């Protein structure tokens, strides 16, 4: 495998740290773009770029790079205080991404790998999403990711920059937060959960599988200009996920049945409808395109990923 110089934005984040570590093993030169001098990044050359927007100075960071993997983004804000959330998402996720891509093209960097989101496709599925489905983002974050994808394709058409877009579903692994971490903590404490009757199907991707796909997208000739949905390849219901997590932890899940309609009502009354909908609804992706075109196979199974994730979180409980 030919070694390349890779700039990773969002390098101090959940996925970024794993990506930087994985890139080093085949001997690639890894550079971490960070906001400040004291990021949570070790063992990589760090380049401070400050906040990401339409005015970020990328000149020092892009010198002699072959690939940029753009992970940095404004993500979901649980306690949103902005009167116009979409405008705030656009500053970073759309204009910041467009500006970076233009700088990348001017610097002569060959490839730009953009980590988008399945939220571009939508929030729930009756059948698995594919790359050919019409985008249907439902919230400001999803809208901003879709607009960023369009901005990148415009830059690519104008400059010849090789853009690769990757849309992952829920990413889990050591360091995961949100519902996933809360489920593991509840299982560790043997808290009964009212989810035995949930029969949904959701696609997931273990963080180590995601970074493996991102590295392949960074170097494979056929990836240029493509959009890929990625997943572990095995979809599970919330109830099955809890049982398998419990098995991985050696602490069997304590589940009981509660009508989904009642759970939705409780979610509405407590202001947690979004969290409840994610636990009850289906969201599947078809990742056959990247497997077919690039020959990608996830290096870890779902159960292997769950076991590693559970161990990392339990050690901190």
Q: Which residue, 283, 206, 212, is CA-closest to 244? A: 206
The answer to whether the CB of 143 falls within 8 A of the CB of 89 is: yes
Nearest to 172 by CA among 309, 24, 10: 309
57 vs 51: CA distance, rounded Å: 10
Distance CA 220, CA 17 (A): 22
- CA-to-CA distance for 209 and 205, rounded, in angstroms? 6
Residue 129 known to be catalytic: no
The conformational region for residue 14 under phi > 0 = left, psi -120 to 50 = alpha, else beta, is alpha
Nearest Cα residue to 195 out of 231, 126, 245, 234: 245
**Helical (H) or strand (E) element with 213:** helix 207-219
- Which residue, among 67, 62, 153, 69, has the nearest Cα to 107 in the 3D structure? 62
DSSP E strand boundaries for the chain: 5-9, 29-34, 45-48, 67-70, 111-115, 162-167, 170-172, 204-206, 227-229
> For residues 32 and 27, what is the distance between their CA atoms, to the nearest angstrom?
15
Catalytic residue among 114, 129, 141, 172: 141
Instruction: Report the catalytic residues.
Output: 141
């Amino acid at each position: 495998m030919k070694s390349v110089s890779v700039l990773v934005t969002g390098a101090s984040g959940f996925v970024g740290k794993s990506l930087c570590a994985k890139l080093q093993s085949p001997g690639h030169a890894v550079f971490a773009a960070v906001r400040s001098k004291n990021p949570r990044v070790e063992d990589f050359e760090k380049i401070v770029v400050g906040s990401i927007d339409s005015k970020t100075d990328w000149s020092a960071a892009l010198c002699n790079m072959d690939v940029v993997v753009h992970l940095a983004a404004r993500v979901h804000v649980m306690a949103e205080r902005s009167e116009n959330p979409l405008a705030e998402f656009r500053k970073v996720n759309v204009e910041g991404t467009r500006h970076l891509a233009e700088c990348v093209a001017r610097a002569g960097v060959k490839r730009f790998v953009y980590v988008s989101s399945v939220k571009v496709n939508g929030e729930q599925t009756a059948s698995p999403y594919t790359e050919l489905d019409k985008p249907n983002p439902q919230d400001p974050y999803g809208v901003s990711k879709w607009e960023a994808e369009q901005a990148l394709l415009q830059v690519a058409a104008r400059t010849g920059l090789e853009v690769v877009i990757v849309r992952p579903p829920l990413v889990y692994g050591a360091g995961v937060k949100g519902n996933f971490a809360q489920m593991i903590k509840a299982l560790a404490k043997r808290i009964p959960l009212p989810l035995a009757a949930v029969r949904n199907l959701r696609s997931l991707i273990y963080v180590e599988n995601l970074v493996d796909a991102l590295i392949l997208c960074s170097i494979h000739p056929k990836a240029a200009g493509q959009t890929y949905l990625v997943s572990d390849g095995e979809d599970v219901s919330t109830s099955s996920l809890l049982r398998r997590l419990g098995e991985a932890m050696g602490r069997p899940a304590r589940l009981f049945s509660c009508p989904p309609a009642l759970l939705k009502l409780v979610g509405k009354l407590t202001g947690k409808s979004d969290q409840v909908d994610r636990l009850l609804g289906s969201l599947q992706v078809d990742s056959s395109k990247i497997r077919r075109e690039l020959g990608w196979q996830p290096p870890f199974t779902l159960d292997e990923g769950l076991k590693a994730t559970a161990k990392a979180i339990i050690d901190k409980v």
